[in-house]
Amino acid sequence: MQALQAETARLTMARQLGALAGAMALGAAVILAATLAGRGPSSPSADIPDDQVVARLSSGPMTQFAGLAPLLTANRAHPDDLAAAMAAASSLIDAGRKAGNSRLVGAALGVLRPFLAVDPAPETLRLAAEARQYQHDFNGALTLLDTAIAADPSLVDAVLMRSTIHLVQGDLTAAAADCARLRAARPDIAFLCQSTALTMTATAPQVYARLAGLTATSGLLAPGLVTWAQSLMGEIALLQGKPDLGEKNLKAVLAANPDALRERMMLADLLLGQNRAGEVTPLLQSAPPVDGVLIRRALAARASGDTEAAAQAEAEVAARVKQNLALGLNAHAREDAMYFLWLANKPAQALERAKANWALQHEFDDARLMIAAAAAAGQPTEALPVLAWMKEQQIVVPSLTLPASVRAVAP
């Protein structure tokens, strides 16, 4: 049982490090690239009749998840065994994250549900919070984490996860406070956590210099933390308007961890913004076909003149967006807004979905998307809440250029 719990903790810590490394990811290059690639007639999938089949999602056997079977079998055979449930749930979350499959993550909550009903252990609460976080139920995740940390303040990965969620929600002060709680137990993680919270502040250049010094000396950071530091350096460089440095650091992350999906999409955005669409298709070829990947594939195909590939990717995204709207789902509202703005040429719908997304999360790509959608829809005042957030959180990003219409209404 202790071995299973230890492995569960190892997996979740690794996942949370990756999540925090990408918590403040950029959307700037996507905006620029889509502005360039989206000129001309709108996508053929922009208007979809209700009875038209635009894409079929894969429903074949998920052989890549065969390793889950023994854990799920053990859980079913021993439904009262917490260790077996934790191992199964942790592996479901891990597999779901890697494949971009929210159903697997939802299944993890089902496995944990009996153990959450009566006096749940802090680690059980934390693992359930991780699943809630993936589903964009950030407030539900925070409630679980608050309870877990109150019961066991030594849960480093729970505190780290809470700081991640605060960052996603745009509360840099609360995120920094949680990072500070980690200093006694893990000063290395605490430093990188604090650095993450400072990527969009006036001190970001100094943070970059400290990170560069740490990564330049072998052995100062564990390998997993080195990639986190390099991801932060890549992000800071892009925010500071230094794309060459950003590309160098993002490629270093991908060389060490080819499964780093957020960094792969950040690099794709950068390449699209530099009119290097031909490099995007091979970059994303092996990436799981989540909405963000499909949108970038479509943008790259458009820019490269591959109309067939562009139409295929756009149709797939269109089907997913239509389903989200029909079911009233907002977990992928960001990607819905990107689709309407950059592919379907429907800025009014893009603004509505961007607003739904902004109600959930305040990462910088959400801010840029809101600003772009408000300007494109001819409703620049809708960007005012974003500008207020930036002022409140003291956001300083040299690479950000406001559209003229938004500048005109800015206080």
Q: How many CA atoms lie within 13 A of 22 on its CB side?
A: 18
Q: Is residue 58 part of a domain?
A: no
Q: Is the pLDDT of residue 209 over 90?
A: yes
Q: Is residue 158 part of a domain?
A: yes
Q: Which long-range contacts (CB under 8 A, 24 or more apart) does 317-324 make?
A: 317/45, 317/291, 317/343, 318/43, 318/45, 318/46, 318/48, 318/54, 318/55, 318/343, 318/344, 319/48, 319/54, 319/55, 319/57, 320/291, 322/48, 322/54
Q: Is the pLDDT of residue 229 over 80?
A: yes
- Give the pLDDT of residue 224: 87
For 263-291, write each residue's pLDDT tens digit.
999 999 999 999 999 999 999 999 999 99
CATH code for the domain in which residue 275 is found: 1.25.40.10
Q: Is residue 121 part of a domain?
A: yes
Q: Is residue 56 part of a domain?
A: no
**Mean pLDDT, rounded, of the chain:** 87
Window from 24-38, 64-78, 213-227, 253-267 with minimum mean pLDDT: 24-38
For the record, the structure tokens of 33 come out as 């690239």
Report, as an integer, the average pLDDT of 19-47: 40
Whole-number Å distance between alpha carbons of 7 and 91: 10
User: Residue 44: is it exposed, middle or buried by C-beta count within 10 angstroms (0-12/13-18/19+)?
Assistant: middle
Q: Is residue 234 part of a domain?
A: yes
Q: Which among 228, 182, 163 has a CA at the least distance from the CA of 22?
A: 228
Report, as an integer, the average pLDDT of 135-160: 96
Q: Compare 103 and 396 and report the one with higher pLDDT.
A: 396
Contact 256, 226 (CB under 8 A): yes
Report, as an integer, the average pLDDT of 324-340: 96
Q: Is the pLDDT of residue 132 over 70?
A: yes
Strands annotated E in 313-385: none
Window from 49-53, 69-73, 258-262 with minimum mean pLDDT: 49-53
Report, as an integer, the average pLDDT of 57-77: 67
- Give the pLDDT of residue 69: 84
Q: Furthest-apart CA pair in the chain: how many Å?
A: 64
Percent of the chain with pLDDT over 90: 77
- Give the pLDDT of residue 32: 38
Q: Which long-range contacts (CB under 8 A, 24 or more apart) does 178-184 make?
A: 181/153, 182/156
Q: Is the pLDDT of residue 30 over 80?
A: no
Domain that holds residue 158: 2-42+68-409
Report, as an integer, the average pLDDT of 118-136: 95
Q: Is residue 55 part of a domain?
A: no
DSSP 139: H
Contact 135, 105 (CB under 8 A): yes
Report, as an integer, the average pLDDT of 143-165: 96
Domain count, the chain: 1
Q: Is residue 351 part of a domain?
A: yes
Residue type, 366: D
For 234-243, write each residue's pLDDT tens digit.
999 999 999 9
- Give the pLDDT of residue 90: 93
Report, as an integer, the average pLDDT of 143-158: 96
Q: Is the pLDDT of residue 19 over 70?
A: no
Q: Is residue 60 part of a domain?
A: no
- Give the pLDDT of residue 61: 40
Question: Is residue 68 very low, low, confident or very high in pLDDT (cuts 50, 70, 90)?
Answer: confident
User: Residue 1: is it exposed, middle or buried by C-beta count within 10 angstroms (0-12/13-18/19+)?
Assistant: exposed
